[in-house]
Structure 1
Amino acid sequence: MLIRLLTGDDWETLKKIRIEAMEAAPGAFAEVPADWENMNERQVRARMSKIDFFVAFDDAGEAVGFMGLVRQPTSKMAHRATLIMVYLRESARGSGVSKALHEAVMKHARAIGVRQIELAVSVENPVAQEFYKRRGYTQIGQIPGGFLHEGREVDEILMAIRTQVEPSEG
C-alpha cells in the first residue's frame, strides 16, 4: 500500500475515486456524482489547489481511498483545518488503510502548522463516528439538518482533534 499527497497532475485519479465514493455512499457526501462527472481538468485542478488530497493506492496501483484536508484561509485561523471527503473502498476496510491515511493527514497537518482538525460526520454513520473517536476526536457540537439527502434533513456531528501540544506558559 502506498499513500501520497496528490498533485495537480493526478487530477484524473482524484476525479475517478471521488465519483466512485459518491456512487458507493450517496448519503455520506454533500455532492452528487454529476457534480464531478461534469468537471473538466481545469475545474478539478482548481479544486485540488484548495484541498490537500491524500490517496491510498493498493499494490496494483489502484486508488482505494482518500481524505481531503482544507486549511482555514485567514491568518488568525490558519492553525485550523477541516477533514473532508473521506472515503475507503469497501474491499479495503478493516485492513488499516483508513488509519494509515489518517496518520498521513495528521503528519502533514503538523508539518504545515495546523493545530486543530475539525470534521462533520453524519449522525447516520456510527462506524465513521467510532473511527474518529478511536483516533482521538471529540464531539464539539451538532448541526441540525446539516445537509439534505434525498429531500431529507440529516444532522451532522461536529468533531475536533488537537494535532499539536501547545507549549505551557510559565
Structure 2
Amino acid sequence: MTIRRLTSKDLSAYRAIWADGLMKVPTAFLFGAEEVRAIPNKDVEKMLEVNLTLGAFDDARRLVGFVSARRGGPQRMQHMADIGPLYVRSEAQGQGFGRALMDALLQQLATAGIQQVELCVDVENTGAQKLYHALGFHVFGRRPRSVLIDGDGRDDFLMIKALDGTDLTRGA
C-alpha cells in the first residue's frame, strides 16, 4: 500500500474512482454524478492543487481510495479543516486503506497547524462512523436533510476531532 498526495498527473485515475464512488455510494458525496461530469478538468486539477487530497494505491499501483480536506477560508477559520469525501473501492474495503488514508491525512493536517477537523457522514453509513469513532471523532450534531438525493432527504451526523489535544466534548 502506498499513500501519497494526488496531483494533476493523477487526474484520469482520480476522476475514474470518483465516478465509481458516485455510482456505488452516492450518499457518500456532496456532488451528484451529473455535476461531477460537468466539472472541467482544469477545475479538478485546481482542486487537487488547492485541497489536500491523498490517494491510496494497491500493490499493483492502482488508485483504490482517496480522501480530501479543505482548510477554512477566512483567517478566523484557518485553524480548522473540513474532511471529505473519503472513498475506498468496494473490492479494497476491509484491507485498511480507509484507516491509512485518514491516519496520513490527520498527520499532515496536524503538521500544517490545523487544530481541529470536521466531517459529515450519512447517518446510515455505520461503517464510516465506526472508523471515525476509532480515530477519535465524536458526533456534535445532526443535520436533517443535509442533502437531497433523488428528492429524498438524507440526514448527516456532524463529527469533530481536535488535533491539538483540546477537549471538544465540553458542554456536549
TM norm. shorter chain > 0.5: yes
Counterpart of 1:152 in structure 2 is: 152
Deviates more, 1:145-154 or 1:36-45: 36-45
Deviates more, 1:123-132 or 1:58-67: 123-132
CA RMSD of aligned residues (A): 1.3
Task: Flag as ranges the 4+ runs of structure 1 deviating above 3 A.
Answer: none
Q: CA deviation at 1:138?
A: 0.5
Count of residue pairs the alignment pairs up: 166
Distance 1:157 1:113 in 2: 25
| 1:65-84 correspondence to structure 2 within 5 Å | 65-84=65-84
Q: CA deviation at 1:50?
A: 3.1
Q: CA deviation at 1:94?
A: 1.2
Q: CA deviation at 1:13?
A: 2.2
Counterpart of 1:89 in structure 2 is: 89
Unaligned runs of 5+ in 1: none
Deviates more, 1:59-68 or 1:19-28: 19-28
AA in 2 matched with 1:54:
L
Counterpart of 2:43 in structure 1 is: 43
Distance 2:4 2:151 in 1: 36
Distance 1:38 1:77 in 2: 30
AA in 2 matched with 1:152:
D
Q: CA deviation at 1:2?
A: 0.6
Distance 1:74 1:113 in 2: 15
Q: CA deviation at 1:129?
A: 1.1
Unaligned runs of 5+ in 2: 167-172
Counterpart of 1:135 in structure 2 is: 135
Identity, in percent, stands at 30
Counterpart of 1:26 in structure 2 is: 26
TM-score by length of 2: 0.91
Distance 2:90 2:73 in 1: 33
TM-score by length of 1: 0.92
Deviates more, 1:53-62 or 1:35-44: 35-44
Counterpart of 1:107 in structure 2 is: 107
